Structure 1
Amino acid sequence: MRIVLSRTDRIGDLILSTPAIATVRRSFPDAHITMVTSAYNRVVMERNADIDELVSLPRAIRPERFGAHFRNVDLAIALAPRSEDLRVVGATGAAVRVGYTYARRYLARLTARFFVNRMAISEADPELCERDPHRVVRHEVEQLLDLVALGGAREQVADLRLDLRDEDRAAVAALPDRPIVLHLAPRWFQGGSTLASTVELARRLAALGRPLVVTANAEIGDAIEAFAGVGAAAVLKDLPFFHWAAVFERAACVVTVDTGATHVASAMRRPTLVAFENRYFRLASQEWAPYRVPSRSLRKPQSDDEASLAHFRNEVVDGVADLINA
């Protein structure tokens, strides 16, 4: 049996797909499984033994042309509700082609039928979640497990997977053990949070009685320089992916506004506090919440007036204190 799985979007979403991928492997142990990623997110799968082959969709090649290289497969599953992944899967011509989209994306529901012959409909809808605070949305992991079940993969595996090696841990071994890790991303500095407020938050986290380690991706640019004087044991920018994950593995708690970092922390099984954007909080805090770890999900304030910022900082500090003292 030959299987193609496709997910070409974000790193965090591919991490959330690893239980579904492991479920496909456990359900079809003798199958040859090809994983299609983008060049950006392929790092998640580079060490994953649940697949036999890893290929990346080149930007310059149309998904239909790329997918046609896999015309001899029996099962193809689009793990993301995106046109690119659906088109890859459709072009395989597999007897069973599985994908999903959202209930109120009516055009997508119509066009998806050209590419897949088994389709799931996700209940995730940001507008409906905001209108109805009691609306339940399953975690993305659970939705993906149901998706692969449509293709016959029913021997479920629930755990997220990232494969650290001893050299990854050795690269960060000089860091203090069980620190609070504050991961910086641009959303700390916009939409109900500011650079100055985040610097003050870092100072307060450093005063909680555990070492503070600050990590950051390249997107924040020179803003990282503002954190040199917050009392952190280390300020680390743009680490290699698995070294970054190894920092999280050492953490007593990870603090972030970034869903990718949230899912890396969950894969490392570390307590996590995540502050989601104010808009569509009810959806995000269900579908992309920390997975199977102690956690707090906070809603960023609507505005960045000082009273709102101070209240937000207090919520973060209190939440972290609860997690590290649990």
Structure 2
Amino acid sequence: MKNFWIRLFLRFFSQKNRSGPPRRILVVATTALGDTLWATPALASLRQSFPEAYIAVVTSGVGMELLKHNPNVDRLYEWKNLWRLYKQWKGKAFDTALIFHASQRLPLPLCVAAGIGQIVGTAGLNKGLDDLLTLPLPNIRQHEIERRLAMVKAIGGKVHNHRLSLFLTKEEKRNVKPLYIADRWVAIHPGSKDVFKRWPLSSFAEVGNRLQKEYECQILITGTQEERDLMAQLAAKIPGSRILEQGLSLRQFAAVLEKMALLISNDTGPVHVALALERPVIAIYASTDPELCGPYQVQRAEVVARRATCMPCLKRKCQVPFCLMQIGPEEVIAKAAPYLVI
């Protein structure tokens, strides 16, 4: 029913025909941390392919932080206040929109209402509104980075790299506490918004204790404000470890992460932040497929994975992640060793 009213409403708007190479490009990437960073190789390829084009991105509040200071982006729009966005987009006269990823229903219709003549996206991922795409691409099995790059190629661009990027300023790097620079630190991120993606705390604890003892490194436990109890529980199991101070912005957290010798984490956002900063990562996967959303074409990234035990996977209904319980600490320690041997 929602889509019926959307289509009815859009009858009052018209789209401009586009010819020639794109000159004013709007990228839609309004979802989570990892989804936003997966857009950065495509943004770099857009800039290289169309150096004279005006490139804007509409994104989430998190995305505003991640894409700040990105030289491949001319303008960032935060996904809120739709009427203001409509007027801004209409005034910018965008000729091309690339729907990289949107959890919301309305970004695609808003592109139509703004008169954007060419709208490219992946078929089947638009909440029943594929017909609003002027160039729907097939939804084939491929990494999320490749799915976004396919849209660049669809409008005549070329792929220049697959590397995630996050641009920190010199000042942001200087403001990191000297504590994290003087010693060799391993960051452990035990949390995840999705509980079914969390490796057991006891396993993280064994890894942390062994790494401290065998490689003389310091352990930094990271997490969000909502995960502070989880972080405290793990810290109690790893004597001598330190909990990352709360209240840091996403970019401040990234600056700390850049100083780490290694990140060991569940399948969650910090994995992609570390990859974008070219830091070594060990990522633990089970219910999600790392071939689709894990580290991609990068060095110094290790994946420890198990197939989902339950078929079909219960995902958010899962209370006991048996698949993750099959991954032992020894396997993770073995992956970590090459990055910590002096």
TM-score of the alignment, normalized to the shorter chain, above 0.5: yes
CA pair 92-188 structure 1, distance change in 2 beyond 3 A? closer
Give the counterpart letter for 1:286 in structure 2: E
Aligned residues of 1:6 and 1:79 also touching (Cα < 8 A): yes
Distance 2:305 2:172 in 1: 33
Q: Which residue matches 2:214? A: 208
- Residue of 163, 171, 175 corresponding to 1:171: 175
Give the counterpart letter for 2:242 in structure 1: A
For 1:188-267, what aligned pairs fall within 5 Å after superposition?
193-209=199-215, 210-229=217-236, 230-232=238-240, 234-238=242-246, 239-267=248-276
Give the counterpart letter for 1:123 in structure 2: I
CA pair 77-310 structure 1, distance change in 2 beyond 3 A? closer
- Greater shift, 49-58 or 178-187, is seen at 178-187
Aligned residues of 1:19 and 1:161 also touching (Cα < 8 A): yes
Q: Does residue 295 of structure 1 match 2:294?
A: no
**What is the number of residues matched between the two proteins?**
300
Distance 1:80 1:73 in 2: 18
Give the counterpart letter for 2:65 in structure 1: V
For 1:18-37, what aligned pairs fall within 5 Å after superposition?
18-37=40-59
Distance 1:95 1:263 in 2: 33
Structure 1 unmatched runs, 5+ = 125-137
Q: Which residue matches 2:100? A: 79
- Greater shift, 14-23 or 25-34, is seen at 25-34
Q: Which residue matches 1:312? A: 328
Deviations 1:208-255 (A, max 9, x none): 312222211122132222244414453204432122222222222211
Q: Does residue 66 of structure 1 match 2:50?
A: no
Larger radius of gyration: 2
Q: Does residue 39 of structure 1 match 2:61?
A: yes
Give the counterpart letter for 1:236 in structure 2: L
Give the superposed CA RMSD.
2.9
Distance 1:268 1:8 in 2: 21
Runs (4 or more) in structure 1 with deviation over 6 Å come to none
Aligned residues of 1:86 and 1:112 also touching (Cα < 8 A): no
Superposition deviation, residue 40 in structure 1: 3.2
For 1:276-291, what aligned pairs fall within 5 Å after superposition?
276=285, 278-279=286-287, 281=288, 284-291=289-296
TM-score of the superposition, structure 2-length normalised?
0.77
Distance 1:188 1:90 in 2: 34
Tell me the SS of whatever aligns to 1:34. Answer: strand
Superposition deviation, residue 206 in structure 1: 2.4
Distance 2:198 2:116 in 1: 47
Give the counterpart letter for 2:252 in structure 1: H
Identity over aligned residues, as a percent?
24
Q: Which residue matches 1:127? A: none
Q: Which residue matches 1:149? A: 153
Deviations 1:137-173 (A, max 9, x none): x322222111122122225243321111222222323
